[in-house]
Each structure stands twice: as structure tokens, then as C-alpha cells.
Amino acid sequence: MKRFLSLLTVAILAGILTLGAYKVFLEPEPTVITESESKPNVFPTTYTVANSNTYPVNAGADFTVAAEKTVNAVVHVKQYGVSRTPRNLMEYLRNGGAEERRIQGAGSGVIITEDGYIVTNNHVIDGATDLEVTLNNNKSYKAEVIGTAPQSDIALIKIDADEKLSYIPFGDSNSAKIGEWVLAVGNPFNLTSTVTAGIISAKSRDLNERDNNTQSFIQTDAAINPGNSGGALVNVNGELIGINTAITSQTGSYVGYAFAVPSNNARKIVEDILEFGDVQRGIIGITGGTINSKAMEEYNIATSQGVFVASVAEKSGAKKAGIKEGDVIKEIDGLPIRKFADLTGYVNSKRPKDVINIKVLRKNEEIVFPVTLSKYEIQSYNIDDVGVEVVNPPKDYLKKFSLDHGVVISKALSSRMKRYNLEGLIISEIDGKKVKSVLEVKEIIENKYKDEDITISLIDRNGEKREFVFQ
């Protein structure tokens, strides 16, 4: 009996050990799925963060031709600058701020001409004192900034190479379709010349969480991670249909949602910078918004898609063409308009004086109006952190100071600034960037971080340049 009990005990212990070993060494880790009610954050894709998720693509799809056409035309962009952000409380208390220190960031860029013009994101090069571009063949060049469009997060830079460069031709982003295969080419996590594939998940996507401007992005599930910013989104023909710009994620790494500035918008910005020196923005001259159930009921609208016209500006192209309050915009140049981002995305690819055909629904009747776009201008802007209001300079005013750029201080806003006689003085640069209009001032200021210093270059009445830093 004792022998039987001993054998039984040994058998039980052996079973426990076997089960334990299975649980520890053989049983797979459980998959934990969590749900969160918090809203995902949208990250510019130049930040360095850990972990990355990717999704497999159809094994039967062949992207080798598109990859071969584009991989040599996407470059690695490194920017060097100076940061004055305090690293800790002791540094802040000791210096009353922070010591200047050299910082480095990295992103991607797309060669668009064989002589070295490169499109990238503004946030990739913003604040840089030096830019270095490395080609796929490992050759490196210094780059200069030709122009920027902070509101659209696009920048144009140039290198002087000793050879003709591979480049990617622009495609028509308006023709791109949801479900179409695309490739993202860039340098995520400093892994140069990386190609990922996916489809176009949505178009005219507006990321209001990202800034206060109505945007119109192409959404894709091609894997995009930190370092991909400024890289290429191309179709299967190897044509550029977007500039990769942002991801939405709770971790900062790719989770299936990535966004690109449409190529038609990027191309128009580049052409404006080269021809005019800045971005020429055309506007219809209306205020309004995407139709919703409340608007349908309140204004007795028979359609659930389109842009409702809430008001029409006097002397605008819309007013002159005959568009009225209460109209619903359904199409522009044959392109269906389902929401406000569809409208802004298309209009942002046009210039002042361009004529577009707008189809509206008015009392269940469809009418087409040819509308001439007018130039988007603002008359004044308050730089609150500095304490002044600025306006565009009167005609020939800048010539008195031998300047071809700058805005004029019209009045002081803060009690501190009212002590000085600032009216009529010229602000020529902000943070080292030349400003040619109030709109450029607005774009620079509104794209700065909340606690970032502002450096103002002021031209005094004797024509001398002085710099002031506002914290």
C-alpha cells in the first residue's frame, strides 16, 4: 500500500512539473487586446520613437518596377540647429532659461529635377542652421532652403550635385483612387532607402487635431514611421502622388494610419516658390462647411453631401459669379465635393485669377458658375508674444530702407511695447526667415511651439538692423 502511495505521489509531481514546463516554455503568450476611448495623437514623422507595426501586403502584387524607379530619387535629409530648451529644472533656474546646444534631426526628401531641387516637409528643415542631404549612393551634399510653406508643411531645398540626378515625376493626385496600391519610400529610423506598400485608404482627410488649418491629406496604410517625413508616396507607375507627412498613433509609431500632402498641392507650392518667391493662395470667397443633419433640416437641403455656403464675401469671385448664401457646392471642375476638405484640397492646387467651374444645388436645381479665384490676403496680424500688430507695407515704403521684404509695425499692443515709438518700423525677419507679407508672419508664428522663443530682426529709422529675442 505504501509503495502504491509513493508511486501515486511521484506520478502527481511528475504531472505538475510537466504542466509547469509547458506553461513556462511551450504555451504561446496570450494576445491582449485593449480598447481606449482617448483620441489618437498625430505625430510629425521625424521624431525618434520605439516599436513599429507593419501589415503584410498581397504576395501576388509586384512593386519592383515602381521601387526601382523611385528608390534612388528619395534622399536622407539631416538638419542641424541650435536648441535653447532647458533640459531640466536646474538648467532653467541657473541660466534663467537654457544653454544653447546643437541638435540634429532627420527626415526624407524627394528629388523632383535632375539638377537637384528637392521637396520635403517644412517640419523636417524648420529651425535648421545647416542641412545635409545624402543620396542613395551615399554621396552627401550641403543643401540650401529655397522656400517654405509652413501652413501646408512643404519646403523646397536644393543641392548642387556633380552629376545629373534621378528624380520622380509628379503624378495627378486628383486621379488617385481609394483602394489603389501605393508605395512609401523614405528613411524611417535612419534606415535608408526603405520601401513599404499599402493602399490609399481615404482622400481629402482633414486632421484638425494637427493644426488649425483645414487640410486635405491622402490617407494610406503603407507603413510610415519617424524618418519618413518628406518622403515619397508613389503609385505603381513610379509617379509621385504625395509627400509623406504624418501618422496618427497613440505611441508615435505606425499603427495603420499615415497621411501625405497630395502631389498636386505640393507641385503648385513648388512652382509658386520658384516663380513668385512665396505661395500664391487663391480663394473662392465663401464661408461654409460640410453638410450635416442639422443643416439639412434647418435649411431644407435635399442632399447629405456637399459644402453649404453660409456667406459670400463682397467683391469676391463667388459674389461676382452669382453664388449665393444657401447654395450647396456639389462639384468643382467635375470633381465631386462631399465635404469641406474636398473643396479646400482642390482650391489649394489653384492660383489667384484661375477660373474654376463650380456646380451648386439651389432649390433642387443644379447650376454651374465659372468663378475667378481671388488672392488670399489678411490686412493685419497680432504677434501677441511680441506685443505688436503688423501690416503689409504701403507701396514703395520698403524702398526707403533699400529692402525688398518686410512687414510694418502698425501699433504696439502691450504696455511694455507702448513705451517705445515702434510705429512704422520694419520687421524684416522672424527666426532668421525673411518675411514678405503679413500672411507669412502668421504662418511662421502659428507653426511655432507654444513656449518657443521668437527672434525678431527689426529695421530702425536709420536703416540699421537689430535683433531681439522674445521668450
* Catalytic member of 126, 153, 221, 327: 153
Nearest residue to 447 (alpha-carbon basis) of 126, 172, 139: 126
Q: What is the pLDDT of residue 126?
A: 86
Q: What is the pLDDT of residue 209?
A: 42
Nearest residue to 214 (alpha-carbon basis) of 273, 156, 290: 290
* Catalytic member of 108, 152, 204, 229: 229
pLDDT in tens, the chain (471 residues): 444 445 444 444 444 444 343 333 333 333 222 223 334 444 444 433 333 333 444 445 679 999 999 999 999 999 987 655 554 444 444 554 545 555 578 899 999 999 999 999 999 998 788 999 999 999 999 999 999 998 889 999 999 998 999 999 999 999 999 999 999 999 998 888 899 999 999 999 887 644 445 678 999 999 999 999 999 999 999 999 999 998 888 787 888 889 999 999 999 999 999 998 888 889 999 988 888 888 788 778 888 899 999 899 988 999 999 999 999 999 999 999 999 999 999 999 999 999 999 999 998 899 999 999 998 877 788 998 888 999 988 878 888 888 888 999 998 888 888 888 888 899 999 988 889 888 889 888 887 776 788 999 999 888 888 888 887
Q: What is the pLDDT of residue 338?
A: 93
Q: Which amino acid is at 296?
A: M
Go through the domains of the chain in sequence order and give each one's CATH number: 64-159 (2.40.10.10), 173-275 (2.40.10.10), 282-375 (2.30.42.10), 380-470 (2.30.42.10)
Phi, psi dihedrals of residue 13, rounded to the nearest 5°: -60, -40
Q: Which amino acid is at 108?
A: S
Q: What is the pLDDT of residue 213?
A: 54
Phi, psi dihedrals of residue 39, rounded to the nearest 5°: -80, 135
| 153 has catalytic annotation | yes
The helix/strand/coil state of 13 is helix
Grid cell, residue 46, equals 521625424
* Catalytic member of 108, 123, 253, 374: 123
Q: How far apart are CA 332 and CA 343, in angstroms?
A: 8
Q: What is the pLDDT of residue 82?
A: 64
The Cβ-side half-sphere exposure at 143, using a 13 Å CA radius, reads 33
Q: What is the pLDDT of residue 210?
A: 40
The Cβ-side half-sphere exposure at 182, using a 13 Å CA radius, reads 34
Q: What is the pLDDT of residue 352?
A: 95
Grid cell, residue 138, equals 551615399
Grid cell, residue 324, equals 449665393
Q: What is the pLDDT of residue 417?
A: 86
**What DSSP state is assigned to residue 221?**
-
Q: What is the pLDDT of residue 208?
A: 61
Q: What is the pLDDT of residue 212?
A: 41
| 216 has catalytic annotation | no
E-state strands within 171-226: 181-186, 194-205, 217-220
pTM: 0.71
Q: What is the pLDDT of residue 451?
A: 73
Other C-beta atoms closer than 10 Å to the C-beta of 227 total 26
| 126 has catalytic annotation | no
- The H helix count followed by the E strand count for the chain is 9, 28
| Cβ within 8 Å of residue 343, ≥6 positions away | 284, 307, 329, 332, 337
